[in-house]
Amino acid sequence: MKRSHLPKAIRLAIVGIFCLGMATSCGTKTTNAEILNSLNETAAPAEMPVIEAELTDAPLVPAPITRKHPAKVVVRLEVTEVVKKLADGVDYTFWTFGGSVPGKFIRVRQNDEVEFHLMNHPDSKNPHNIDLHAVTGPGGGAAATFTAPGQETVFNFKAINPGLYVYHCATAPVGMHIANGMYGLIMVEPEEGMEPVDKEYYVMQGDFYTKGAFGAPGLQPFDMEKALDEKPSYVVFNGSVGSMTGDNAITAKVGDKVRLFVGNGGPNLVSSFHVIGEIFDNVYVEGGSNVNKNVQTTLVPAGGSAITEFKVDVPGNYVLVDHSIFRTFNKGALGMLKVEGPDNLAIFSGQTEQKIYLPEGSVVQEMPKSNAPKAAIANNKDMRLELGKTLYAQNCQACHQAEGQGIKGAFPPLAKSDYLNADVDRSIGVVAHGLEGQIKVNGEVYNSTMPKLKLSDEEIANVMTYVLNSWSNKGGEVTPEQVKKAKDKYKH
C-alpha cells in the first residue's frame, strides 16, 4: 500500500516518529502538518475515473456533462460502408462513422484524457482514419488511426481547448471520403460547464455529388467531376432529404431555450445557416468562445461549426435552412422545428387584416426549364405515397405548409380542401399548368398565382396521391394515365 493510501492517524504517527528522529539528530523542529503536506505533494496522484463515452445519432446529443473533474473517456467508433436512403427512391453508398451520416456526436470535458478506438468493419472495402479538429497533435489523430478493414487502432489525446469541433476521415483521396459522409461533431465542454437549456439538437450539413441529377432514382454512384467542380446534386441536413421534416422534425415547447450544435461537413460549400422565424440570442462563432448576439444568419464554413441558442416565444413550425436558398428548396437543405404551446399575441399576432390589392397585372409564372431526371416509377400505391411525400416537401410545403394548412390570404389550404376533393382532375391541371385568378377554398377567396411546376406525369401522380391521402382528404390513387387526360382536359 502506498503511503498516500494509509489512514491519516497512522500517517501522523509515522510523521511524529520521523520528526522525533530528525529533531534529535539535527536539532531542528518540523511540524507534523509540514511533513504531511510534503508527503501529499510527492504521493502518486489518484487515478482518473474511466468513463465509456455516450454516443448519439443526429439530431440527438449526449446528456450535458455535470461532473466537476476530468476523467478518462473511452470512445469507440466503428467505420461502416452502408447503403442508405439519400432521398425517397434514391440510395447511396455512404461511408460512415457509426452507421449514420453525420457520424456519432461525441461529448467530453475540457482536460479529459480521451482513449480513442477506431474500428473498421471487416466488410469495408477501404482503409479509413479520423482527424478530430479537437486534437492537438499531428494530423488530429489521422496518422495514428490509419485502419484497414477488419482492424482496430487506438490512440490517446487530452482535450485541451473547449469548443465544438468537426471530425472527419483524412484517408486519401480525402475529399471523396468526406463527400461520402465521413464527418461528425465532438463537443469539448469548458471546465465550468455550459448553461442549462431545455432542448439540444445536432444538425450537420453536407453536400453530395451523384451521377444522377437531384431525384434520379436508384442506387447513385459518386461523381468525382461534380465534386471537383463543386456542383452538388444534393445539399442536406443530417444525411438525407427529409431527415428533419414531418415525423422526423425536432420539437420544443413555447418558453423553451433551444441550443443547436451546427456543423458543416462540406466537403465544399459554406453554409448560411438560418431558422426562419427566429433570431439567435447567442451564436458561438465557429464553435469557439466568442459570442455574437441577436444574429439572423450565421456562416458555418466547410469543416467548421457554430453553436446557436434561442428561446421560442410563440408556437408554430420553424424552418431550418441554408439561406443560399436554392439549396433549401431544390437540393434538400431543409429541416423543421415544431413548437407547441399557447399563443403570445403581444409578440406575434398572426394576420389582423386582409384587403384586396390589384397590382399592374400578373401572369402565371413558369418554373425554369431544366433537364429533369426521369421520375422513379411507383409499382403500388404505398410507393406512390412515399415518393409523393418527398415531392410535396420539395415543391409544395413552403407555400401550403407541412400539414397542408396553407397561409391565410396567400396560399389556399390543401387539408380538407373542398376545391381539391370536388374535382381531382381540375387540381391536377393546376399543378401541371399553374393557376391565376380567384378561387374559393373552404369558404375563403384566394387570388394568388401558382407557378407551373416542371414535374413529370409520374411525379404529379405521386404528389397528388400523397395530398389526396393526407389531412382528411378523400383518398384514392392518381395514376400517370389520369394525369395525362386531366392535363389535356384543363389545358389553358
Residues forming the annotated binding site for Cu cation? 128, 133, 168-169, 177, 182, 323
Specify the 3-state DSSP secondary structure of 156. strand
How big is the chain, counted in residues? 492
User: What CA–CA distance (Å, rounded) separates 109 from 66?
Assistant: 9
Enclosing H/E stretch for 248: none
Nearby residues of 483 by Cβ (< 8 Å), 6 or more positions away: 428, 432, 457, 460, 461, 464
User: What CA–CA distance (Å, rounded) separates 103 from 167?
Assistant: 9
Residues forming the annotated binding site? 128, 133, 168-169, 177, 182, 323
DSSP per residue, 133-153: TT--SGGGGTGGG-B-TT-EE
SS (H, E, C) 37-77: HHHHHHCCCCCCCEEECCCECCCCCCCCCCCCCCCEEEEEE
User: What CA–CA distance (Å, rounded) separates 465 from 328?
Assistant: 24
Q: Which of 455, 461, 462 is nearest to 370 (CA)?
A: 455
* Amino acid at the residue 15: V
SS (H, E, C) 314-375: CCEEEEEEECCCHHHHHHCCEEEEEEECCCCCCCCCCCCCCCCCCCCCCCCCECCCCCCCCC
